[in-house]
Chain A
């Protein structure tokens, strides 16, 4: 089955700096890679996703890059703000004739220091 590894487990940045979180996956058939943000005690919420037919996707201060050859993908947050502080999870999914489940990474606790 799919295995997703995520680094770092914790990340502290100064407000206004950039943050980068990296994930690797094992199943070369995986073709969908979402990122979820989870605030303390809250539900995970999708912030951005990318499919394997593109290498990069951007949405305002958030971008995701995908390297299919190396089987890794990264989340980039620019101009970080205190409200970006949360746990971020990457995930990978294979979609074939019958869609499958997401496999999540172990999470990155991002702290943005004011």
Chain B
């Protein structure tokens, strides 16, 4: 597609359940980012992929959060044993190169709104 695609757009789950959020970046973009945005806040960095590898996962809040990008394109953010505090919009972004570099503009998806009851 023309832009970054994220599914599902909305996910409601119960505390303790496992959740997967998918991101399909713009074709050809090597860099992929996951951010989390709580109501009234700016996006908070979670993890950054360059190709297939996680180049920086320092933003993942704890070991319940994990992300993969096995073929260097689609990425999945996985959250185990969800807690109510995990409720937020999870944004995915991609860029042709990495942020800040030449052609480093981030293109965001519409986000996946996660609600943990």
| Minimum-distance CB pairs A-B, first 3 | A99-B98, A95-B100, A104-B42
Report B38-93 residues with CB < 8 Å from chain A CB.
40-45, 48, 50, 55-56, 58-59, 91
Interfacial chain A residues near B98, Cβ < 8 Å: 95, 98-100
Q: What's the minimum C-beta distance from B67 to chain A, rounded to whole angstroms?
A: 13
- Number of residues in A with C-beta < 8 Å to the partner? 28
- Number of residues in B with C-beta < 8 Å to the partner? 29
User: Are A99 and B104 closer than 8 Å at their CB atoms?
Assistant: yes
Given contacts A99-B31, A101-B48, A106-B42, contact A44 B91 (CB under 8 A): yes
Decide yes or no whether A93 CB sits under 8 A from chain B: yes
Q: What's the minimum C-beta distance from A76 to chain B, rounded to whole angstroms?
A: 20
**Which chain B residues have a beta carbon within 8 Å of chain A's beta carbons?**
4, 31, 33, 35, 40-45, 48, 50, 55-56, 58-59, 91, 97-101, 104-106, 108-111
Separation of A31 and B100 alpha carbons in the complex (Å) = 7
Which residue from chain B places its CB closest to the CB of A102 in the assembled complex?
B99
User: Are B108 and A44 closer than 8 Å at their CB atoms?
Assistant: yes
Which residue from chain B places its CB closest to the CB of A45 in the assembled complex?
B108
Which residue from chain B places its CB closest to the CB of A49 in the assembled complex?
B105
Interfacial chain B residues near A102, Cβ < 8 Å: 33, 43, 45, 99-100, 106
